[in-house]
Amino acid sequence: VLHLKGFIIDDTVIYSGASINNIYLQQQEKYRFDRYHVIDCPELARSMRDMIKQEIVSDPAVSVLSQAAYNEDNPEKNDVKSFKHRLSQARYQYTSTTVGNRVTPLIGLGRKNNELNDTIVKLVDSSTKELFICTPYFNPPTVLTRALARHLREGKKIDIVVGDKTANDFYIPPDQDFSTIGALPYMYEQSLRKFAKNQQWAIENGQLNIHLWKDGINSFHLKGISADNRKHLITGSNLNPRAWALDLENGLLLHDESGCWKESFIQEQHYILLHTERLFHYSQIDTLQKYPKPVKKIMNRIRRLKADFLLRRIL
């Protein structure tokens, strides 16, 4: 899936995980909560614009939807098949610096040589005090789960803000007709319950704070990681196995060497936490037995077929 994020307008980048539609822009009765960062930086805008033009628009596997039907030029099958490999080699090109406040654009596709994935793990491992993590649902790849557990064992702190299952895009209220896709929020919830159970000791001593976001019928779509309030990754990645291996993802890593952005990010974190409830014990998360009958039926079938591992990797 093409999961790149960002709007480039002249020398300005508006980075967000949001799409342009009614629910994100709250044009009707409900909204989808997301992050929006406006960065005025000609070099960043040029780098992101050039990558799209050179690696995607100009690629022979990409079709122009506006071309006339009588003159339609469809890509060759071999070009389409090899497109993923070419994209996995793509990088943002920019004049690099390692000093001062700066923004580093990152892109990645696939499990190997993925600079975005590698940066996420390094960000967790290099943190010396605390992490603030946002994700719509909790279903991290094994390498990230281990990094988070290691972070806690070293005596450091983690705040995780995750959407309640009712704030998931795929949640279907009990009074509506159920479909198979509606089981997803419950699968993610069980993944969170397992992690919370394994790290209950850290919840009890205050190292691990899991905040469940819920605001009526609205949904939660925030992503990103802040480390020690010095480095901030804003990204469209859901920090899950699918994003890790199958989707083309990007992100911006903000290095706040002087602390000039610290107060802005702290204010954002306070705002994010407004509609959350802290988890004090993993048992506060529902078990399978408490789920609606249609959900229990499909999840029991998934477990019986041992398909939950595969589903978590592709959904």
State yes or no: is 85 an active-site residue. Answer: no
Rounded CA separation 5/57 (Å): 15
State yes or no: is 34 an active-site residue. Answer: yes
Judge residue 83's burial from the number of C-beta atoms within 10 Å of its C-beta, 0-12 exposed, 13-18 middle, 19 or more buried. middle
C-alpha count within 13 angstroms, C-beta hemisphere, residue 261: 22
Annotated catalytic residue within 164, 249, 256, 268: 249
Place of tokens 């064992």: 153
Phi (first) and psi of residue 157, to 5 degrees: -105, 150
- Ramachandran area for residue 54 (φ above 0: left; ψ -120 to 50: alpha; else beta): alpha
Rounded CA separation 220/278 (Å): 16
Annotated catalytic residue within 37, 221, 232, 275: 221
Asked whether the beta carbons of 114 and 141 are under 8 A apart, the reply is no
Indicate which residues carry an active-site annotation.
3, 34, 221, 249
